[in-house]
Amino acid sequence: MEIPYTVKARPDTGLWNAKVGIWLFLASEVMLFGGLFSAYIFLRLGSWHWPHGILNIPIGLFNTFVLITSSVTMVFAWASLKMRNLHKFECFLGITILCGFIFLGVKSYEYYEKFHHYGLIFKNEAVANRYRAEVEAAGGQIKPSIIEGQFEVTGHIEEMDEETMKFIPDSIHSSEPMVQIISVLQAVTGKKTEHGEAVVFQQDDVYRWGPFVPHYSSYFAIYFTLTGLHALHVIGGMIVMAYFWIPGRKLYHTDPEHFTNRVEVVGLFWHFVDLVWIFLFPVLYLL
């Protein structure tokens, strides 16, 4: 059966069908991410203190550059097809897919870092105040937590037994851009990150502790939900692009305009994924 209006415009809409299809899908995607952005606002407004400076901004900036680059190479891939240059198309689509891999690789590193980064919430304010001087002497600080009246310290666990916990607090400088860049470079070159002095906490003084996984706080819950869903979209886009890169391109030899339109559709999806990240980056990393 011949599918109608894959190249020619339908008289009533003035568009080929797949274009209406992808935009309808993108409209539903707006609602999907819209609901989660709405949840983010709800959680943030309801929190006592919203964490700030806990994500690595330079690495997020790098990933933003990667996605924007992939968006422009996607446009070039489509434009190359319009100009009937299959070789250039392959090059540009290849770069786009590569950018997708880089983005996911960097994101995986960020997730890994968070899974090995800890937070510790004290039983109450009085207990937190008792440790304040000691934590500050070790170069760290005790901050208000997301839940009203509770205080937390972030860092790494060095040792623990049933009664005590040897904890290395994050430096007060850990959210400065240069410090964050150095920590990434150390991770890349395989050097062990220099941690400061340790503070010993009594287990009885700790209300709750754990790595930065979704259940640690509503901040990490919404962070992982939003970025995780976004990463799934990146993977989905890459699968479709990979299809058009190798097996799907045989359509080019029989119906180049139809193939160009298909690539335009995956391009529209890819730009949307980029567009979501444009909002995610400032919302999660900067604000």
CB of 175 to another protein, least distance (A): 10
CB of 198 to another protein, least distance (A): 30
Beta-carbon count within 10 A of 260 CB: 21
* Parallel, antiparallel or unpaired: strands 118-122 and 151-160: antiparallel
CB of 255 to another protein, least distance (A): 16
The sign of the CA dihedral 177, 183, 188, 191 is positive
CB of 228 to another protein, least distance (A): 20
Q: Which of 82, 116, 130, 215 binds another protein (CB under 8 A)?
A: 82
Q: Show the site string, 218-247: x = touches another protein by CB under 8 A, - = not.
A: ------------------------------
- DSSP string for 33-62: HHHHHHHHHHHHHH-SS---S-S-HHHHHH
CB of 49 to another protein, least distance (A): 11
Closest CA to 147 of 129, 121, 169, 128: 121
Task: Retrieve residue 268's tokens.
Answer: 């529209």
Q: Which of 27, 126, 178, 188 binds another protein (CB under 8 A)?
A: 27
Point out which residues pair with 152 in neighbouring strands: 121, 143
Shorter beta-carbon distance to another protein: residue 75 or 198: 75
Shorter beta-carbon distance to another protein: residue 74 or 238: 74
Q: Does 172 interact with another protein (rule: CB under 8 A)?
A: no
- DSSP string for 205-271: GEEEEEESSTTT-HHHHHHHHHHHHHHHHHHHHHHHHHHHHTGGGGHHHH-HHHHHHHHHHHHHHHH
Shorter beta-carbon distance to another protein: residue 167 or 274: 274
Q: Which of 91, 104, 106, 278 binds another protein (CB under 8 A)?
A: 278
| Residue-level length of the chain | 287
What is the rounded CA–CA span in Å between residue 209 and residue 171? 18
Show contacts with another protein in window 258-277 (CB under 8 A).
267-268, 271-272, 274-275
Beta-carbon count within 10 A of 126 CB: 9
11 secondary structure, DSSP code: T
Closest CA to 209 of 172, 170, 156, 163: 156
CB of 252 to another protein, least distance (A): 15
Show contacts with another protein in window 98-117 (CB under 8 A).
none
Q: Does 15 interact with another protein (rule: CB under 8 A)?
A: yes
Q: Show the site string, 56-75: x = touches another protein by CB under 8 A, - = not.
A: -x---x--xx--xx-xx-xx
How many chain residues touch another protein (CB under 8 A)? 50
Cα–Cα separations (whole angstroms), residue 29 to 25, 39, 125, 216: 6, 15, 43, 28
Shorter beta-carbon distance to another protein: residue 23 or 111: 23
Sites of contact with another protein (CB under 8 A): 13-15, 19-20, 23-24, 26-28, 30-31, 34-35, 37-39, 41-42, 45-46, 57, 61, 64-65, 68-69, 71-72, 74-76, 79, 82-84, 177, 267-268, 271-272, 274-275, 278-279, 281-283, 286-287
